[in-house]
Amino acid sequence: MGTTFGLGELGFLIQGLKWTVLLAAIAFVGGGIGGLGVALARVSTSKPLRRITGGYIALFQGTPLLMQLFVIYYGLGLMGLMLPAWVAVAIAFTLHASAFLGEIWRGAIEALPKGQFEAARALGLHYVPRMRDVILPQALRIALPATIGFLVQLIKGTSLAAIVGFIELARAGQIVSNQTYAPLLVFTVVGALYFALCWPLSLYGSRIEGRIARATAR
């Protein structure tokens, strides 16, 4: 006989939710820092740099996230570098996020009118102040809806971390389901927790996209 789903089981799911949020936050922040570097490299005047970062993006966009988790966790282990599951998972998701965010932000930078670049140069701004004060604020505003959309996908993608033994929300749900023999109830609660986490972000992204569309139409 299995145990009954109660407050203890719900608390275990909430603990898994905390790890899901923490993993997504680490990956998004770390991926954002790396993604900014990737985006700037993709629009640089250096052809080798553009090719290297283009290959980096192609590698992570062209392979399944599950495979990336396997390679980083088990591959590093075979090389003698044994990492805790959460560290390996955080590295994998950060690299994954940096490739996708880098491409999103690269597109936003290139979507700006050429006049913005020319005006910044005419003001005598060098590369760093030009990007920091003129280009990036506008580009990131354009990219905000797509960035939020990727964050939602990243949160849902953390469920794949269970494959290497990391206990996040989906894995916690599986454990509780095996204990209670009530998979429908357990995964309804799991789904509700994912929805409560992702839906406000999706709604915010849609509103931002609508505002940008209205501002562009004026």
> Could you tell me the CATH number of the domain that includes residue 107?
1.10.3720.10
Q: How many domains does the chain have?
A: 1
Residue 137 belongs to a domain: yes
81-91 confidence digits (pLDDT tens): 888 888 999 99
Range of the domain at 81: 20-168
Residue type, 18: K
- pLDDT at residue 91, as a whole number: 94
Residue 209 belongs to a domain: no
125-151 confidence digits (pLDDT tens): 888 888 988 899 899 888 999 999 999
Helix (H) or strand (E) holding 118: helix 114-122
Residue 160 belongs to a domain: yes
pLDDT-based confidence at residue 7 (cuts at 50, 70, 90):
confident
Contact 160, 64 (CB under 8 A): no
Contact 143, 157 (CB under 8 A): no
Q: Which two tokens stand for residue 80?
A: 């003698």
Residue 174 belongs to a domain: no
Residue 3 belongs to a domain: no
22-76 confidence digits (pLDDT tens): 999 999 999 999 999 999 999 998 999 999 999 999 999 999 999 999 999 888 8
Q: Does 3 or 170 have the greater pLDDT score?
A: 170
